[in-house]
Structure 1
Amino acid sequence: MLFTGARPREVCQLNPQVDFGQVDGVWYIDLDEKTPAGVRVTNSIKTGEARRVPLHAELVRLGFAEYLQRAKERGADRLFPTWRLKNGNAFSAHYKAVADLLRAVGLYTRDAPPGEQITGAYTLRKTFITECRNQGVVSKELTGHSDGSTTAMQNRHYIFGPEPFRRKLEQLSKLVMPVRIPTR
């Protein structure tokens, strides 16, 4: 979530069998509710719009592509196959594990004023979006958000294709995060 801007459920429902690959040597993940879901998983993308997200160099350094490849070879049908499901959601039962990770990397805090605290997994998405904005990285196609540059009328009546994969990669390569995740 920290390096993709994806929502917790979107990441945890990734199916290594179908939701990742390479284009011209660049690893990516597909966030798409129409790809085959894992057993008892209900795929859900908040906006309903699929998106292909290149893997940030830090995820590659951490071995995420290799992890997905090993999971695929073992026949795993979701990112964290040992995590239990709650109502078809591969994330919702695991708040504590994510909170522990956030504490370990210094992103979990209750220092913000009441009403502004984000202490769960959304801290990672919020950090991604904030850092993109602060560094001038266009994140609309990565996060599934609108960038506000078009009106609702334009979105309904004009034909806008998805952002080209290479442009997403170019934008993502500019992003430098304020934390470095240790390898195990």
Structure 2
Amino acid sequence: MAKELDLSEKRLEHLESVIQKYRQDFYSVGKALKEIQHARHYQKLSFKTFESYVNTRWDMSKSHAYRLIEAISVIDNLSPIGEVLPKNEAQTRPLTRLDPFSQKKVWGKFLKTNKPLSALNIKKFVAAHLGESKKTSRYIEVISEDYKEAVDLMISQIVIAQNDRWKSTSQKTALYWNKVIKEKILWE
């Protein structure tokens, strides 16, 4: 049993080292792309522009290449302040909107929240720091009370049908009438 556990622990260690290696890979790729761009190494391969190089050679959009390059600047900026760093390019993206000083400040505050490290959580935190709020959809702003009441009634009927597992009103029928409503709205 102990030998079996020992093998299991070694396997886990190996698997975690693989995860660690590839989790940080965005940094290595971004660093390489930055050097290739800065030194114009792509011209040695007969590419006229960096954009054509990344697109043709690596099947990568120029915007993704630039996001990877921006990501390494964020990681390099945050590295001196702690061990916990963004784990992928998507997590660095919201921080690229901030100057280097603000990146450190906001990152430190985010880590203190103990929220899960996800691109969405970081994006929301940065947006709150910048004073941005989720705007109400313009579609909701322009609606009469009667129309809103009818929509609410329709939604409540859908919920009733779902809870009834579509026994008294079939899902197919509900979708059909939804299509009819859409056609009426688009009819000119």
Q: Which has the larger radius of gyration?
A: 2
Structure whose residues are more often helix by fraction: 2
Q: TM-score range by the shorter chain?
A: under 0.3
Higher relative contact order (CA 8 A, sep 6+): 1
Q: What is the TM-score normalised by the length of structure 2?
A: 0.21
Structure whose residues are more often strand by fraction: 1
Q: What is the TM-score normalised by the length of structure 1?
A: 0.21
